[in-house]
């Protein structure tokens, strides 16, 4: 039955579906997944599925499709297919149309092709393949979610809070079809230092906010070095810190009264975001105690917890054996970025991350996904579901 089902998967359909999704802009920010959500719902409707659309905010819909429909029993297993609809902004310098879905050299090009409309298309094709056998022993819940690129609050986190329950999850982020069982978390934060403006010819009449920020950056650098000597996760390595943006001052002849940085702290299990935030607050507090003129604001922009799989041995085994049918098997790895798997895992759903496309190619100019990976992904998802729900 498995071989017969896999032969029914149409490789051209996978490619064309990926191209169709890429051609629909769903850029976040600002965030508007309405058009692509309507396309996905219509695609499923034409294949006699019932798609449920819920909005966490205006024009920020999430889609769930359940097969089979109806109420499941406590003895039946449930598998979650999860993928996000939003993509990051395009940027400049493209040689391909970012929303053209162009095919060249065995690749589909376009913003989101790898991250992760290719994975989303492969999940959709797998859902349709599973339905073609008429009946499975359990249930698959397909989710196309909003806001992953913005932190996931309006997407997977919203669905989890609505009462999602399942026995295993698959998130189709781009891993070059490697199985990942852990991912980093993130705390993105801003710090503002305040000073007092004065003429640069008499700098002692002012307070230089950039020099105050220099103290912060030096303290963060020392903190970063400490992280490199702290807990090393076997799949993800050490936690990290990066100061990504700095802005301050207006002219060389004015003592600056304000300086701003945006930075991020990457977490590895078992670290928690709350503890990392407390460490940052403690660092700023220490500077304040040493410098009576140190005035600052600290703001956390968004948080996503790190996670790693707990339990799910049988689901992981099904995924590993299914992948081995098409690719030489490699040991499970860590996913170095943050993603929605943490919302599933931290709600008690053992989850793996595996999808077509390379993470190193995500968010870049001329983003693409390899066509052969799309074809493998659809088959691996289908086969893994059959094995897990048999």
| Partners of residue 54 on adjacent β-strands | 62
Residue 13 CA to residue 371 CA, distance in Å, equals 11
Q: Which of the residues 33, 102, 147, 148 is marked catalytic?
A: 148
Q: Are 98 and 24 in contact (CB under 8 A)?
A: no
Structure tokens at 383: 């086969």
Contacts of 89 (CB under 8 A, 6+ apart): 27, 29
Residue 171 CA to residue 160 CA, distance in Å, equals 14
Is residue 271 among the annotated active site residues? no
DSSP 157-217: HHHHHTT---SEEEE---STT--EEEE-EEEEEEEEEE-B--BTTSGGGSB-HHHHHHHHH
Is residue 86 among the annotated active site residues? yes
- Output b/e per residue, 182-200; b: 16+ Cβ within 10 A: bbbbbbbbebbbbbebbee
Structure tokens at 189: 């934060």
C-alpha to C-alpha distances, 169 to 314, 319, 348, nearest whole angstrom:
12, 11, 10
Q: Are 380 and 177 in contact (CB under 8 A)?
A: yes
Q: Are 385 and 126 in contact (CB under 8 A)?
A: yes
Q: Which of the residues 32, 33, 86, 173 is marked catalytic?
A: 86
Q: Are 236 and 268 in contact (CB under 8 A)?
A: yes
- Give a three-class secondary structure readout of 119-132: HHHHHHHHHHHHHC
Residue 230 CA to residue 221 CA, distance in Å, equals 14
Structure tokens at 276: 């990392």
Q: What is the DSSP letter of 346?
A: T
User: Strands 103-104, 240-248: parallel, antiparallel or unpaired by DSSP?
Assistant: unpaired
The angle subtended at Cα 375 by Cα 115 and Cα 360, nearest 5°, is 30
The residues annotated with a catalytic role in the active site are 86, 148
């Amino acid at each position: 039955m498995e071989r017969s089902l896999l032969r029914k998967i149409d490789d051209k359909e996978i490619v064309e579906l990926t191209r169709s999704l890429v051609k629909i802009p769903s850029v976040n920010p600002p965030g508007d997944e309405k058009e692509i959500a309507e396309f996905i719902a219509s695609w499923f409707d034409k294949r006699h599925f019932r798609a449920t659309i819920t909005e966490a905010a205006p024009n920020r819909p999430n889609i769930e499709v359940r097969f089979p429909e109806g109420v499941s029993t406590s003895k039946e297993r449930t598998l979650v297919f999860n993928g996000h609809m939003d993509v990051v902004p395009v940027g400049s310098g493209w040689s391909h149309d970012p929303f053209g879905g162009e095919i060249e050299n065995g690749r589909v090009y376009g913003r989101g092709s790898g991250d992760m409309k290719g994975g989303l298309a492969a999940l959709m094709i797998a859902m349709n393949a599973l339905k073609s056998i008429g009946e499975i022993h359990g249930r698959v819940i397909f989710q196309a979610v909003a806001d992953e690129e913005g932190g996931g609050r309006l997407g997977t986190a919203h669905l989890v809070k609505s009462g999602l329950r399942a026995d295993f999850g698959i998130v189709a982020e781009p891993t070059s079809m490697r199985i990942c069982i852990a991912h980093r978390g993130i705390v993105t934060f801003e710090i503002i230092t305040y000073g007092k403006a004065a003429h640069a010819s008499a700098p002692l009449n002012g307070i230089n906010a950039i020099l105050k920020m220099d103290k912060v950056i030096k303290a963060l650098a020392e903190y970063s070095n400490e992280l490199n000597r702290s807990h090393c996760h076997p799949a993800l390595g050490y936690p990290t810190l990066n100061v990504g943006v700095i802005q301050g001052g207006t002219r060389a002849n004015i003592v600056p009264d304000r300086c701003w940085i945006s930075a991020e702290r990457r977490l590895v299990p078992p670290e928690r975001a709350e503890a990392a935030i407390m460490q940052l607050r403690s660092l700023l507090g220490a500077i304040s105690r040493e410098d009576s003129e140190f005035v600052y604001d600290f703001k956390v922009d968004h948080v996503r917890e790190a996670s790693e799989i707990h339990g799910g041995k049988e689901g992981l085994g099904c995924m590993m054996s299914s992948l081995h049918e098409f690719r030489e098997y490699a040991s499970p790895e860590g996913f170095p970025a943050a993603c929605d798997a943490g919302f599933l895992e931290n709600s008690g759903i053992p989850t793996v991350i595996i999808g077509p496309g390379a993470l190193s190619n995500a968010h870049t100019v001329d983003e693409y996904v390899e066509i052969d990976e799309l074809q493998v992904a659809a088959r691996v998802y289908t086969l893994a579901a059959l094995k897990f729900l048999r």
